[in-house]
Structure 1
């Protein structure tokens, strides 16, 4: 019997086994390499200062267009694209000398400068964090629509039960990077000055309500419009917005546990380990994968229980944020390599990346725990894979900033001067995606639904597919940049 188009769509995103970790790494390397090329162009040519229409076009092509091509046209030859990004960056870096700094704020009276110097933020905005979170949002927005086209390889789609894929990494990275920046408030409060648990729960619940509303609206829309859905992804009623909504109150609870175990990394590992023990030593694992959907719990078992893994990922992100966000204390010129690794932000990020990577390979290797990655249940290997991947990607971005903008925080300056320098070291497009991340993600979801309801995406050729995806990517980027230009921040 001929399948309906809805059945074809559901089959198109079901039953996949993914690809290798190395494949995901090689494809996603285009993101930091795009940031590298952007940073070299900015540090050597100041192409994006001042920021005009040609600058916007180049910025969009580098940080959005490259991502689109990496996941479609160049999907089978990722290293060709990586070399096309790396070679011009290397040539420009070698042949061109650093350009003079951009416009400066006029000098003030020395007393005013001294006052400003004392007010430098101990948790300054870091361009490499902004760039990476923006790039992660770009690839997420691209993938949620591209997956419905045949030009997007099936190995990138979410796996059914066991395995690794680009989109499996995408949802975990979304949560991880949210954890990186969320630790800022905890660092500002400091130990012993944290609000009471009841106040934290009230505040976190307020943050959760908009996400619960979005999740409910998505649920009603999907059911009401008879939209194709992949039930084994989160369940019949659950969706990713519900996962995001329940994170704040549970993180507030874990802040109390932090007083007993003062390490987000250790907390995250303990939570993931206990969850893995429950999956392996009880019937929980088989219940999530094969139980009949007879009640509200079993109907949404994937979303409900995988939340534990996503909570661990969020805490791991907070662990990395506690390294990356604070202002770095300059090292003396005679500092040893050991001091560099232990005391500099880049060194500590590199060590964290190595530790997460070693733990991941121990959990999956023949001589370790021999576990398989599963995004569906968000088990221990998935948690460690997401933590490792994001840690080394953020470390690469930090290395790019350290190499190309070495005086970003070193030169004594006022808070206003520092803010301007950090802004000049940040891609405007990526800054815009990062600033209103969830709002842009919501717009991307709405446009994805609109395209799928009005176009036969599975029946479109390569040129048609790339045309639609290009217009969609430009539209999402236009919304992000427009909100940023109008100085609008939508907090969801």
Structure 2
């Protein structure tokens, strides 16, 4: 009896492995190209409109509509009506950008500034620049990520959304597989800010207070995880247990990250690099997967107890932790105002150095991904978001560092004034000029907007037969849904409200 059960277990695992080709929903390299294509091109068109024509300054009702059509509508088209032709959509956007760039710049609009009395000017110009800054390209990157995430969590329930973009079962890559990893990577970038502040003040926070603070950040996320669990089970909402398990969900993963990151911060005394810690953790986890029965247990083990029921969420946490640490490493050289505070080089040289540094790191992560997955020259390990294995970690990190690098390049070309600012007021004005109001709003209250998106997604699924409606109605629902989210986000920003969760 036991031998037959073991044989069945082994057969199931073997079948899962053989199903790699059928579960593969697009090569990782092409998926990276897709993720890195449309959003930066949209950013390029927006930047040309702003830098050449000052189209969004002042921010009028027409500016809001165009902002919405570009930074929300174009991304919505890229995963629905233009899902089979992202290159065509990018070409159309590039053509529009070229046309706008060819138009003579609106010099009068760029020179138009409110006149202030001398005393007001001196007060307004006061304010020293600190060691850290809020880079425009990071706001655009994080805002775009939030927009596409909100689009996909509802669009996936409609037939118009291609199945190849939905999360894969076990092996392979997809757009939504990239989304969950990108969310964690982006959170890692932001989490590097307090570390950099401690280093700038030369007052490192001891482990105890660091853990206590991390638990305070975790509690709201864990509470949302419990609420989501109860609502999903109570409403009998459709879910795939192979994604995180029977009870686990993404909020639990996010909630447990801060305490573990606080513990890993102590390991920097031994390995003084977040990237090194991320690679060490990812490689160790992959070795355990390959050299023990753990992989078979995660993919095909029986769900006999609470631990086994949630094995995907529990063990994939190690992969997401590695992604978070890699994001922190990126933040360590992206967030500082200067890569080398003691350098006397000009702002232009500093900008070029940052772009080159990001390009080098992007190439390093890509090379590591290639040698991990290539069957001819590398280890030949397949990507699995379900396992959050080493190839998945490297795929997410390589994709996101490349995307951030491209946003940085666009930012550097069109908005050098931000990097040349000599005081806090000038820098703030340059930052607002270089960032979309909509993307800035999504970035400011990202988690709150994400929670609202989840509530609206549940409401739509309970009231609309999403699989039975046509493309026209689908686009209408998705546009209305994104309009509600966008108006909410921009409204909170207009009233200077930041919801910290």
User: What residue number does 1:140 align with?
Assistant: 149
User: What residue number does 1:56 align with?
Assistant: 64
For residues 102 and 249 of structure 1, do their structure 2 counterparts lie closer, same or farther at Cα, with a shift above 3 Å needed?
farther
Pick aligned residue for 2:309 from 299, 310, 313: 299
Pick aligned residue for 2:469 from 460, 463, 477: 460
The answer to whether residue 263 in structure 2 is matched with residue 253 in structure 1 is yes
For residues 194 and 17 of structure 1, do their structure 2 counterparts lie closer, same or farther at Cα, with a shift above 3 Å needed?
same
- Cα distance in 1 between the residues matched to 2:53 and 2:121: 34
The answer to whether residue 397 in structure 2 is matched with residue 390 in structure 1 is no
User: What residue number does 2:97 align with?
Assistant: 89
1:114-137 CA distance string (max 9 Å, x none): 9936x2121111110001100000
Instruction: Using the TM superposition, give the Cα deviation of residue 227 of structure 1 relative to its aligned residue in structure 2, in angstroms.
Output: 0.6
Pick aligned residue for 1:317 from 319, 327, 333: 327
Instruction: Using the TM superposition, give the Cα deviation of residue 112 of structure 1 relative to its aligned residue in structure 2, in angstroms.
Output: 5.2
| Stretches (4+) displaced over 3 A | 94-99, 101-117, 329-335
- Cα distance in 2 between the residues matched to 1:458 and 1:332: 58
Pick aligned residue for 1:201 from 186, 206, 211: 211
For residues 16 and 145 of structure 1, do their structure 2 counterparts lie closer, same or farther at Cα, with a shift above 3 Å needed?
farther
The answer to whether residue 31 in structure 2 is matched with residue 24 in structure 1 is yes
State the number of aligned residues: 472
Contact 2:417 2:430 (8 Å CA) reproduced: no
- Cα distance in 2 between the residues matched to 1:161 and 1:227: 21
Instruction: Using the TM superposition, give the Cα deviation of residue 103 of structure 1 relative to its aligned residue in structure 2, in angstroms.
Output: 3.2
For residues 439 and 473 of structure 1, do their structure 2 counterparts lie closer, same or farther at Cα, with a shift above 3 Å needed?
same
Using the size of structure 2 for normalisation, the TM-score is 0.90
The answer to whether residue 232 in structure 2 is matched with residue 225 in structure 1 is no
The answer to whether residue 51 in structure 2 is matched with residue 43 in structure 1 is yes
The answer to whether residue 368 in structure 2 is matched with residue 359 in structure 1 is yes
User: What residue number does 2:196 align with?
Assistant: 187
- Structure 1 stretch 121-130 or stretch 92-101: which is displaced more? 92-101
Pick aligned residue for 2:277 from 267, 282, 296: 267
- Structure 1 stretch 402-411 or stretch 293-302: which is displaced more? 402-411
- Cα distance in 1 between the residues matched to 2:115 and 2:323: 41
For residues 197 and 97 of structure 1, do their structure 2 counterparts lie closer, same or farther at Cα, with a shift above 3 Å needed?
same
- Cα distance in 1 between the residues matched to 2:113 and 2:336: 26
- Cα distance in 2 between the residues matched to 1:131 and 1:400: 11
Contact 1:16 1:158 (8 Å CA) reproduced: no
For residues 347 and 113 of structure 1, do their structure 2 counterparts lie closer, same or farther at Cα, with a shift above 3 Å needed?
farther
- Cα distance in 2 between the residues matched to 1:408 and 1:212: 38
1:29-80 CA distance string (max 9 Å, x none): 1111111111110001111111111111100110000111000000011101
Instruction: Using the TM superposition, give the Cα deviation of residue 96 of structure 1 relative to its aligned residue in structure 2, in angstroms.
Output: 3.4
- Cα distance in 1 between the residues matched to 2:347 and 2:183: 39
Instruction: Using the TM superposition, give the Cα deviation of residue 299 of structure 1 relative to its aligned residue in structure 2, in angstroms.
Output: 0.3
SS in 1 for 2:259: helix
Contact 2:132 2:336 (8 Å CA) reproduced: yes
User: What residue number does 1:3 align with?
Assistant: none
Pick aligned residue for 2:494 from 475, 482, 485: 485
1:367-416 CA distance string (max 9 Å, x none): 111000000010000000000000010000000010001222224x3211
- Cα distance in 2 between the residues matched to 1:345 and 1:113: 32
Pick aligned residue for 1:34 from 8, 26, 42: 42
Instruction: Using the TM superposition, give the Cα deviation of residue 95 of structure 1 relative to its aligned residue in structure 2, in angstroms.
Output: 4.2
For residues 465 and 122 of structure 1, do their structure 2 counterparts lie closer, same or farther at Cα, with a shift above 3 Å needed?
same
For residues 365 and 101 of structure 1, do their structure 2 counterparts lie closer, same or farther at Cα, with a shift above 3 Å needed?
farther
Contact 1:104 1:417 (8 Å CA) reproduced: no
User: What residue number does 1:158 align with?
Assistant: 167
For residues 105 and 241 of structure 1, do their structure 2 counterparts lie closer, same or farther at Cα, with a shift above 3 Å needed?
farther
- Cα distance in 1 between the residues matched to 2:228 and 2:243: 15
Instruction: Using the TM superposition, give the Cα deviation of residue 111 of structure 1 relative to its aligned residue in structure 2, in angstroms.
Output: 11
Using the size of structure 1 for normalisation, the TM-score is 0.92
Contact 1:49 1:102 (8 Å CA) reproduced: no
Question: Where does structure 1 lack aligned partners over 5 or more consecutive residues?
Answer: 1-14
Contact 1:27 1:71 (8 Å CA) reproduced: no
1:85-123 CA distance string (max 9 Å, x none): 112213323443474356368475699579936x21211
Q: How does 1:305-454 map to 2 (within 5 A)?
A: 305-328=315-338, 332=345, 344-366=353-375, 367-411=377-421, 413-454=422-463
- Cα distance in 2 between the residues matched to 1:360 and 1:451: 38
- Cα distance in 1 between the residues matched to 2:130 and 2:163: 46
Instruction: Using the TM superposition, give the Cα deviation of residue 172 of structure 1 relative to its aligned residue in structure 2, in angstroms.
Output: 0.2
Contact 2:23 2:171 (8 Å CA) reproduced: no
Instruction: Using the TM superposition, give the Cα deviation of residue 21 of structure 1 relative to its aligned residue in structure 2, in angstroms.
Output: 2.3
- Cα distance in 1 between the residues matched to 2:369 and 2:82: 28
